[in-house]
Structure 1
Amino acid sequence: MNYLFICMKRGGQHGIINWFAQQNHHDSLHLNNCIKGWEQQKLIPMKEHMVVHYKFNGAGHDIKNYFVDHKIDLDKSQQLRREFYQADFNDAQEKLYNIEDLSIAEYNERKMWNFGELANNSKTFLILRDPFNFIASCLQRLKNPPDEGARDVGIQLPQRLAIWKEHAYHILNGGATTRELHFINFNEWFLSEEYRKSLCDKHSLVFTDHGVNKIMNFGNGSSFDREKFDGEAQKMNVLTRYKDWENHKAFQHLIDDEITYLAEKIFDLKRN
């Protein structure tokens, strides 16, 4: 089985995918932000070594992340790239692909469920984070980016919110696609062990809950805490980030009636 995860940047997907890859007793690969190769019906990461190898050791997984941003540590980035090209991934029984900020309309138009190894036996997941904390995380990244290139999530937020709404309406009402999209509620995944167990039951995974507290370094971790809480991710206030921004005009301007409606319907959240 191979998997495709569709999610917005700053939507919590890396935590979920890292956890998902460890709910089994075999080797797997995560290929991050596969925005290349589409014209050839392939899914190739934005940078070829944006790959994480999960190697099962009998009790858990030994995890090798082959990517570090060269702007943060050039020597380590080059070393990991060399190791990536020398690595053997033949034992990987499944691949987990993700694409960020992908509209469902484009997913349907391109029939992405037929791309590469997804064509044989796969599932597609749609991950959604509540809009208030999603917006706050994007604005925080705009205010305090690890580098200038990371500001895009905030600069393009009005356009990106249109995609977020499309995802939300699909969750509520379904849509025209020949491939079922399985919803993962980021808020519930973060809060509830029972919810995580239910995901494992539904999708024939082996519940271990390994990885739930890991912060992946893709995107330089949390917009607010970076990687400060690595190993203790559930201590982060990821469901109350909006409180730092709720009185800011930029935040208020982005919260319209649609956002308010969708937040209540999907996440049972109301603004005071």
Structure 2
Amino acid sequence: MDNTLNRLRRVKRNLGYLVEDTMRHLSNNVNPSEIVNQKEIRVIGLKRSGNHAIINWIRKQHHGEVWHLNKIPVKRNPYRFLYEHYPKEKLKQEAKGNFTKKDCLIYSYEDHALEQITDNEFEKKSELYLGKSAIKYDVIILRDPFNMMASRFKKGYMKAKNPDRTLVELWISYAQEFLGETQLLKNNKIVVNYNQWFIDVDYRQQLAKQLNVNFYDAGFNDVKGQGGGSSFDGLIFRGKAAEMDVLNRWKVFADEPQYQKLIDNAELQDYSERIFGHIPGTERYF
């Protein structure tokens, strides 16, 4: 009975949202000439790829009114979704299109297929949901599969949100977009190699230049609390993230049969080699 009532409530709620969107569109509630976001950054990554570390770092290179909408579901109004879970007045106003002017709006997706994130119908409603932006960026983050899989293995995050794809298939699709073999991300695309971001200050400076911000490297040593912090270290290295051994996590599970089976994929290994180069010791899996 409770499940039936919940389904009916969701149907009623979604119908209400559809009517609200239609009325806003017809009444031109969103002024197409008015800039709401000076910069809009859509961040896309797989869990345990350093997403929160990099998003925090991006936030701290910016000044002024900077918002981050975290782990948004696909094909949904981000503000509306957040208001359902955190019923705050400012989120309610944003959901209704009464936008606050922002210097930078960041919103992020985790573990979703790129085809879902870039759904054409959602893209058409982007300004209705988020307001008009002066410039848009797509930031896609990729971590080498050996260490990403190890971190997920440690936390038990072994399923992708898309039931039609395995985690390995999803990583490969991100690698293809990273290399430009697919072109699903249509905004100003910036690809972030997490391994290189972690070890190379010059690489981070180059990324800041691509994002058109002054480089401070603020936030690099933060360890964010989302998801309990590091899969292996938790929050122990807060304020000294550079000391974490994030590039050798795979060694913990090197002889674990389930882990070996997970990464025993020639295509996965090929894309890893092309993007991250040879990772010493992983040749045992080739």
Q: Which TM bucket (shorter chain)? A: 0.7 to 0.9
- The equivalent of 1:185 in structure 2 is 193
| 2:168 is the counterpart of 1:154 | no
**Residues 3, 118 of structure 1: 8 Å contact kept:** no
1:49-88 to structure 2, matched below 5 A, reads 85=89
- The equivalent of 2:238 in structure 1 is 230
| 2:269 is the counterpart of 1:260 | yes
- The equivalent of 1:211 in structure 2 is 219
- Select which of 106, 110, 130 maps to 1:117: 130
Q: How far apart are the structure 2 equivalents of 1:226 and 1:248? A: 22
Q: Which has the higher helix share?
A: 2
**Residues 2, 122 of structure 1: 8 Å contact kept:** yes
| 2:141 is the counterpart of 1:127 | yes
- The equivalent of 2:108 in structure 1 is 98
Q: How far apart are the structure 2 equivalents of 1:108 and 1:207? A: 29
Name the aligned partner's letter for residue 276 of structure 2: F
Asked which structure has the greater RCO (Cα within 8 Å, sep 6+), the reply is: 1
DSSP-derived class of the 1:34 partner: coil
**What CA deviation, in whole Å up to 9, does each residue of 1:168-204 have, x standing for no partner?**
0122243243434320111111111000000111221
- Select which of 27, 39, 64 maps to 1:26: 64
Q: Please, what TM-score do these two structures have when normalized by structure 1? A: 0.75
- Select which of 54, 65, 90 maps to 1:16: 54
- Select which of 210, 234, 241 maps to 2:249: 241
Q: How far apart are the structure 2 equivalents of 1:170 and 1:236? A: 28
**Residues 136, 188 of structure 2: 8 Å contact kept:** no
CA distance 1:86–1:5, change in 2 (3 Å): closer
Q: How far apart are the structure 2 equivalents of 1:244 and 1:194? A: 30
CA distance 1:202–1:262, change in 2 (3 Å): same
**Residues 112, 160 of structure 2: 8 Å contact kept:** no
- Select which of 124, 140, 158 maps to 2:154: 140
- Select which of 22, 41, 59 maps to 1:3: 41
| 2:171 is the counterpart of 1:167 | no
CA RMSD of aligned residues (A): 2.7
- Tell which deviates more after alignment, 159-168 or 87-96: 87-96
DSSP-derived class of the 2:118 partner: helix
1:29-44 to structure 2, matched below 5 A, reads 29-35=67-73, 38-39=75-76, 42-44=77-79
CA distance 1:225–1:176, change in 2 (3 Å): same
Please report how far the alpha carbon of residue 262 of structure 1 lies from its aligned counterpart in structure 2 after TM superposition: 1.0
CA distance 1:247–1:49, change in 2 (3 Å): farther
DSSP-derived class of the 2:221 partner: coil
The aligned length equals 228
CA distance 1:230–1:250, change in 2 (3 Å): same
Gap runs ≥5 in structure 1 = 51-80, 143-152
**What CA deviation, in whole Å up to 9, does each residue of 1:189-233 have, x standing for no partner?**
111100000011122111111100111111111111111111111
Q: How far apart are the structure 2 equivalents of 1:268 and 1:229? A: 27
Name the aligned partner's letter for residue 235 of structure 2: E
Q: How far apart are the structure 2 equivalents of 1:45 and 1:238? A: 35
Q: How far apart are the structure 2 equivalents of 1:45 and 1:219? A: 23
Q: Please, what TM-score do these two structures have when normalized by structure 2? A: 0.72
CA distance 1:111–1:217, change in 2 (3 Å): farther
Larger radius of gyration: 2
Gap runs ≥5 in structure 2 = 1-38, 94-98
DSSP-derived class of the 2:147 partner: helix
